Every structure is written in C-alpha cells, then in structure tokens.
Amino acid sequence: MRRLIVDVRPGEYTVARLPADAPVPAGLLDHELVSVTRTPDELSIVCPSAHAPDSDLVQAGWRLLTVRGPLEFTLTGIMAALSGELAAAGVGLFALSTYDTDHLLVKAADLGRAVTALRASGHEVHLPV
C-alpha cells in the first residue's frame, strides 16, 4: 500500500438515524462535511455535532479523518488498508467515501490510538492546528 496523507479534521461529528421518510433537516448541507444517505429503511446523517438533527438514534463523539485526494477510481485497497490497520489497533470506525476521497470517523476516545496505528503503518497524519 502506498503512503497516504490523512488529515484529522477539527471538531466532533455525529451519526444519526432518522425514519426513511424523514425530510433532510433544513440548512444541514451548509456545513463542511455532511453525508446524507437514504435507504428504504432509514435516513442516515453524518454531520458536525453542533448541527446534528434531533433523533432517538444518535451516536455522538466521532472525529473525522480525511485521506488527501483526489484519489483515482483505479486505486484499490485504500479503505481496506486503513480499516485493517485501525482494526489491528482495536479502533472501530465509520467509513464514508466521496467522489474525490475516503473519510473515516473514529470515536474521539480512540483518536490517539488511530493516529499512532496509521503512522506506524507508514502514513502521514496531520492533526488540526
């Protein structure tokens, strides 16, 4: 696996589950990183915690790690390598991919172990200033 550059983004993120027929909360897409996925069973939202929707099913306390991109679609194994390195360190994750790159959310309590594991595997990890 080639060496990747990973940026730890500032702030805390939340993963929320809303009913499948729920509307996307107004103004939600005005923030730096927001992911909205609708399936027949749910509306799943990842967003900065300060803007998280009200829901009974909410997981707060995530930190965002972004692989510097853009990454070519022909590249293989990026998410597998990163998730494997984190799994070996006992760090759970929530994965997102976009057109340009991959994003990993790890619990804030696991951020130090995640950074250490990625650096030990040869990746360059930048913390927020």
DSSP string, the chain: ----EEEEPSS-EEEEEE-TTPPPPTTGGGSSS-EEEE-SS-EEEEEEGGGPPP-SEEEEEEEEEEE-S---TT--SHHHHHHHHHHHTT---EEEE-SS-EEEEEEGGGHHHHHHHHHHTT-EEE---
Token couple for 75:
């590249």
pLDDT > 70? residue 110: yes
The pLDDT assigned to 1 comes to 61
The pLDDT assigned to 120 comes to 97
Token couple for 113:
């172990």
**Sign (positive or negative) of CA dihedral 26, 30, 34, 49:** negative
The pLDDT assigned to 5 comes to 96
Average pLDDT over residues 52-76: 92
Summarised one tens digit per residue, pLDDT across range 1-44 is 678 999 999 999 999 999 999 999 999 999 889 999 999 999 99
Q: pTM surpassing 0.95?
A: no
Structural domains in the chain?
Answer: 5-126 (3.30.2130.10)
Confidence of residue 129 (pLDDT cuts 50, 70, 90): confident
